[in-house]
Amino acid sequence: MGLLSLLFRGNAALEACAVRDEAHVLLGAKGEHVAKIQFALFRIDRSTIDRSELVSQTYGHSTAAAVLQYKQRRSIINRTYQSTADNIVGKMTIAALDRELLSVQRPFPVTGDCAQSLLEAPPSQFAGGQPSLAKTVAGQDEKPVPLNSLVSIFISQTTASRGDGFPIARQVDFARDALFEHGVTLSLAFGNPVADIIPFNDNLLFDDNLIQLRKMSEDMRPGIPQVLRVIVCRMAAHFGETKRNVVIGTQTVRPFCLLNSQERDPNDTTLLHEMIHASLDGPAHDSEPNSVFFDNHFLNPAIPRPEAPRRSVLKNNRAKSVATSFYSSRPRSR
């Protein structure tokens, strides 16, 4: 029988480790299988491993020390030729890790802010053509309030999502242009548009996937609390989600946004939509179909409707929320 935990099963190197002595994972090994072992040690024992080894997915000395400590705590010793535990991941060790992961894994929490939010009011009916902006978006006949502020985000992308052709640049351009009309400048930190490529090849199918991905992002670029994290990845949900109250070890991380690389928002508004979610605490979606903060569910092609709305309008109160949220905000030069 192969490995059973969702984190381990199907990984060729780990499956081989479970059945063949020559496939043991030793000091100096590198690759995704090492990263999965490192995360399992963190998930089960809160093991501390050097950041350089985590980022490079290397079985270095701190990883080996964490493995040794894990085995010593559980007396994982092959007594046919050993009297003490070693720092190698062999058949007994990978089986023990697999069993413990299986006992703690949970299904992926597909519901984030976007899925949980309700409309502020019943949505307008848009059969028979697009509603006019004046009737659809309350308050948009007023002049935008110049906020003269700057908000910073940075975007990472998983290796699994790189070949999906997700239009990151178009999403950024739409968000930048829409915010600028309200006096808000969008700044991309660390890269334009992608700052980091996270070596993560899984889809977000269960809870440990989400925690591992967020931890890998933190390992690659720690801290930066005033900059919103955005990760383009493959996920079992619609266009995007904002996650909050995610616990990594003992730390609850700040809200962050996920963009689904396998879904296409025809209006390219997913990034800005999720930025609004991240700037508020459990908001309701706008009821106006032309708003960029209209409910994403209504654009899902699996849901029948007379005609899909074109989301193109950023309401003043949503621009203000983004500008005054947890990311950096300061006067800009014109």
* pLDDT at res. 96: 97
Which pair of structure tokens corresponds to residue 113?
């802010």
pLDDT digits (tens, 9 = 90+) for 85-99: 999 999 999 999 999
* pLDDT at res. 311: 80
Low-confidence ranges of the chain (pLDDT < 70): 1, 107-111, 115-147, 237, 282-283, 296-309, 326-334
* pLDDT at res. 325: 78
User: Is 44 in contact with 101 (CB distance < 8 Å)?
Assistant: yes
pLDDT digits (tens, 9 = 90+) for 253-307: 999 999 999 988 888 999 999 999 999 876 678 888 889 998 765 555 554 444 5
Residue 222 CA to residue 237 CA, distance in Å, equals 27
User: Is 29 in contact with 88 (CB distance < 8 Å)?
Assistant: no
Q: What is the 3-state secondary structure (H, E, C) of 105-159?
A: CCECCCCCHHHHCCECCCCCCCCCCCCCHHHHCCCCCCCCCCCCEEEEEEEEEEH
Fold exhibited by the domain 113-323: Collagenase (Catalytic Domain) (3.40.390)
Q: What are phi and psi of 145, to 5 degrees?
A: -90, 120
* pLDDT at res. 129: 39
User: Is 278 in contact with 228 (CB distance < 8 Å)?
Assistant: yes
Give residue limits of the domains in the chain.
12-104, 113-323
* pLDDT at res. 236: 76
Q: How far is CA 43 from the centre of its chain?
A: 18
